[in-house]
Amino acid sequence: MKITELDNPAWSALTGRHSHLAIGDGPVRRYPADISPFAAVETPDALPVLADRMAEGDTAVLWAPEELETLEGLDLLVHFPILQMAAFNFKPMDTADDAQPLTPENVDEMIALTTLTKPGPFGTRTIEMGSYIGVFEDGRLAAMAGERMKPADFTEISAICVHPDFQGRGHARRLTSILGKRIVADGRVPFLNVLPENTVAIGLYESLGFTLRRRLHVHLFRKPGGDMADDPFFSSL
């Protein structure tokens, strides 16, 4: 197990289990825009290559262990720290694995829920990144969670969100438990990312065995020109 692959999780995924989704070659990879705005460079030295490959008005979200310097030819629109947590000793709640699988037929509902709750960018093909599950109440998607970045030995749990009308019913804990158990059964370690100020979520994750691994930095770069309003993810970040 190479724990260091989590230092550059998007690169590890795009050159590994998500290589079939990757666009690019050499030291730069990225997901198609309708799957994810995430891009990755092998090292920060490759940022000029990324800039050259981006079209005017294009955006790219990069993860890095340290804050990246602003690059000539790219505007840094957003930068924030995020806590990376991993569950090497996962402790799921005792719950049946009976959550409903979400399919492309549910994408409109999933986008509506993620737009409302803002767990992170979610597009029309994000569901292709992994398995997504949900809970329905009164015919509505009440809660969901799914798999996002997939380095070799780890699987990220992401898009953990609950509609405000259905909060306080344990949906987030239950869905995280179900996904985490599946990941462990697959021989991998579940990990996730959470904002430092989200203390409620951090407490929930700690109760399931997640511990802080390190602090990462998330950057949203944009190449000048074009129309930023065309970016379907910008408002979610």
pLDDT in tens, 46-96: 999 999 999 999 999 999 999 998 888 899 999 999 999 999 999 999 998
Fold classification of 85-213 is Aminopeptidase (3.40.630)
pLDDT the model gives residue 225: 86
Residue 233 has pLDDT above 60, yes or no: no
Domain map (residue ranges) of the chain: 3-81+216-236, 85-213
Element (H, E) at 189: strand 189-194
What does the pLDDT look like over 143-180, one tens digit per residue? 999 999 999 999 999 999 999 999 999 999 999 999 99
Minimal CA–CA distance to 41: which of 54, 21, 52, 26?
26
Residue 56 near residue 221 (C-beta atoms within 8 A): no
Q: Whats the size of the chain, residue-wise?
A: 237
Residue 234 has pLDDT above 60, yes or no: no
Mean pLDDT of 206-226: 95
Mean pLDDT of 183-197: 97
Beta-carbon count within 10 A of 76 CB: 14
User: What span, in angstroms and rounded, lies between the C-alpha atoms of 234 and 59?
Assistant: 8
User: What span, in angstroms and rounded, lies between the C-alpha atoms of 201 and 173?
Assistant: 9
pLDDT the model gives residue 229: 52
User: What span, in angstroms and rounded, lies between the C-alpha atoms of 74 and 72?
Assistant: 6
Mean pLDDT of 5-19: 98
Helices 199-207 and 171-185 cross at an angle (nearest 10°) of 50
Global confidence as pTM: 0.94
Residue 236 has pLDDT above 60, yes or no: no
Task: Provide the pLDDT confidence category of residue 115 given band limits of 50, 70 and 90.
Answer: very high
Mean pLDDT of 40-44: 96
pLDDT the model gives residue 235: 46
Domain 3-81+216-236 matches domain 85-213 at the CATH topology level? yes
Fold classification of 3-81+216-236 is Aminopeptidase (3.40.630)
